[in-house]
Amino acid sequence: MLIAEPLDVPGWVNAVAIGVGSLQGAIYASGFRDRKLDLFGVAVIGIATGLGGGFLRDILLNKLPIALTENWYIIVAVGAALLGMFLARVIRKVDWVITALDALALGLFGALGTTAALVSGLPFVPALFVGVITAVGGGFIRDLLLNMPISVMHVGSLYAIAAAAGSIVLLGFNEANIGLEYSVPISVAVTTILRLLAVRFGWSLPEQRMLKSLRNPKLVRPADLTGPIDVQRDL
């Protein structure tokens, strides 16, 4: 499935996504004082957060990572990470700023990943997959570097679902032959707003549950048979 109208995503859009991701990643990492990260460590995590989603996208599409095609993408990532590192103490006092940056980065990377997949000729479902992986990839790598539980794999605030919703909107608009100059901003807005609403109202997917039979106290486990049985049974 090709895009409705051939359109190259402007370089500044990619730069904004990388910058927002790196800024948010550095601010997030600087809050973990128990990890004893130095300034270099915080900067590395910020840069990895900003570049990670794009790297995963381009690997899936068998392309040279876009961050390696121009000098200024990496410069933007480094600059944004350093800015986030130095402003972290101020910004952390306003928690919603970090949440808003995270939601915006999620929307931007999701839309860019889906668009790149469409430009490469991928059909609907694979394009959706690439879009979601691009959106959550930076946060995935950030959590790995911080040795934390992967946020997208745990009960949370519809992280991947928000990214998927925005990507589905973009793909649906493409099916309707609506150009990317309209569908991309709307896709970003859908993901960002859904993510913010999920955080605000605590929406999440249900936590996985153990099989009821494994939690049934009436069941007798083999270990219980080694001791005396006090319960009388009818013969």
User: Greater confidence, 190 or 155?
Assistant: 190
Residue ranges of the domains in the chain?
11-203
Share of the chain above pLDDT 70, in %: 82
Handedness of CA 192, 197, 202, 208 (dihedral sign): negative
In the predicted structure, residue 83 carries a pLDDT above the cut 60: yes
* pTM (two decimals): 0.81
Average pLDDT rounded to a whole number, residues 166-183: 92
Average pLDDT, the chain: 83
Please give the pLDDT value at position 38: 85
**Dihedrals phi, psi of 155, to nearest 5 degrees:** -60, 125
At position 82, the amino acid (one-letter code) is: L
Please give the pLDDT value at position 28: 87
Radius of gyration of the chain (CA): 22
In the predicted structure, residue 218 carries a pLDDT above the cut 80: no
Please give the pLDDT value at position 205: 77
Q: What pLDDT digit, counting tens, does each position of 113-161 carry?
A: 999 999 999 999 999 999 999 999 999 999 999 988 887 877 566 889 9
> Which residue matches tokens 């051939």?
6
In the predicted structure, residue 85 carries a pLDDT above the cut 80: yes
Average pLDDT rounded to a whole number, residues 203-207: 76
88 sits in the region (left: phi over 0; alpha: psi -120 to 50; else beta) called alpha
User: Greater confidence, 102 or 50?
Assistant: 50
Please give the pLDDT value at position 10: 76
Q: 22 pLDDT band (50/70/90 cuts)?
A: very high
In the predicted structure, residue 226 carries a pLDDT above the cut 50: no
User: Greater confidence, 67 or 218?
Assistant: 67
Q: 8 pLDDT band (50/70/90 cuts)?
A: low
